[in-house]
Amino acid sequence: MKVLFLCHRVPFPPASGSKVRAFQMIRHLSAQGHAVTVASLAHSAEEAEGAQGLADYCSQRMIETVGAMVARVRMVGRVPTAIPSSFGYFASPRLARRVRSALETGLYELVMVHSSSMAPYALGAPAASLRILDFCDMDSQKWREYGQHKPFPWSLGYRFEAGKLERTEIRLARQFDLCTCATPAELQALRQLAPDASSAWFPNGVDSALFQPADSYDPHLIAFMGRMDYYPNQLAVVAFCREVLPRLQCRRPALRFEVIGANPPRSIRDLAQLRGVSVTGSVADVRPYVRRAALSVAPLSIARGTQNKVLESMAMGVPVVCSPIVSKGVDAVPGEHLLCASSTEEYVALIEQVLESPVLRRKLALAGRNRVLTHHSWTGAMARLDEAIGAALERRAHPRMTAAA
């Protein structure tokens, strides 16, 4: 098939969660012999240059650069309209014209969209094309959660955006032949919003050969991994440093906490002034930093979809202690493959258990990695995607089939 693949960020190098998922989909489709054209936005010359790395995985690229300032102006311009502001951020008239011209040729049998903000580009696809929208996460619900945590008046803005985005997600879900998500929880949210839409899910995966366990670790080190320009990560790290770490250090004065992630703002950099806390900022490779830790934490109070940081830690044999909402995004059993905590007291108790018992740590390390190998391989994830695409094609051939995947 000829495939047009639309994604909101250049998926190369695949260095963040959404880019990894998009890249793996592109690579898989190409490996199956499909001619894939990638249409994407870049927000810097450096990001646009990264598209050169896609040459081995697609037959053609359509990349348009939209500067951050222009993107913000377009985002603000959508505030008084029914269009979600986030859609404005990823709007490009030049890319829209190029995509429209490509679709008018009628050559593309499959139009696949990664992220709802790119869906408007695909609405002009001819009726003969199979259209698939990978929501991955339901962003409207994330903005709704932001509205519960942000101070006034920002909370009003996020709730307003959540309402606009939710209405848009419902409309878009009904306009595509198939909608997909990354977790069963996100799929449930989609089906509650648009029960009549055809939907399915396939998980995120991990390159288990790349994320290998280490032979040793530092029993006095706890790690957090994640981009630090992401608000939920900031909220989680600050709370951990203020509430959990001091209580652990009362019993373990040598205990250290390392925050590993790009673009930490001043509020995060200032945490390094606290006893035992270090903030790395951007690093060339996160793996050596995480592998040396006794365990990693993901105490997020806001989380949608899969936290790749958890999968990667598990793949490296580093036990994970996380919040229940984070565990919902991973196909794992709490208490067996990772540990879940709902309060400061529970975080302290569970972390101490792991630190005190090398036997427990090894048990969790082995169970976590094995779970990733069996339930979060990209091979398995792409097999589920193939099944969903096959079912969508079958429904088009036999329209009376049920819309539920």
Domain for residue 25, yes or no?
Answer: yes
The pLDDT value given to residue 400: 64
Are residues 48 and 74 both part of a single domain?
yes
Domain for residue 76, yes or no?
Answer: yes
Are residues 150 and 240 both part of a single domain?
no
Domain of residue 269 covers: 218-375
The pLDDT value given to residue 403: 45
Q: Tell me how far CA of residue 140 lies from CA of 193, 234, 307, in angstroms.
A: 10, 20, 17
Domain for residue 138, yes or no?
Answer: yes
Burial 165-194 (b: 16+ CB within 10 A, else e): bbebbbebbeebbbbbbbbebbbebbbebb
Are residues 229 and 161 both part of a single domain?
no
pTM of the model: 0.90
Are residues 317 and 363 both part of a single domain?
yes
- Greatest pairwise CA separation for the chain in angstroms: 68
Are residues 84 and 201 both part of a single domain?
yes
Are residues 177 and 282 both part of a single domain?
no
Are residues 254 and 386 both part of a single domain?
no
Residue ranges, the chain, pLDDT below 50: 402-405
The pLDDT value given to residue 405: 44
d(CA 10, CA 171): 26
Are residues 195 and 168 both part of a single domain?
yes
Looking at residue 192, which CATH number applies to its domain? 3.40.50.2000
d(CA 9, CA 6): 9
CB 33 within 8 A of CB 3: no
Domain for residue 210, yes or no?
Answer: no
Domain count, the chain: 2
The pLDDT value given to residue 404: 44
The pLDDT value given to residue 225: 95
What is the residue-wise DSSP string for 322-375? E-HHHHTTSSS-BTTTBEE-SSHHHHHHHHHHHHH-HHHHHHHHHHHHHHHHHH
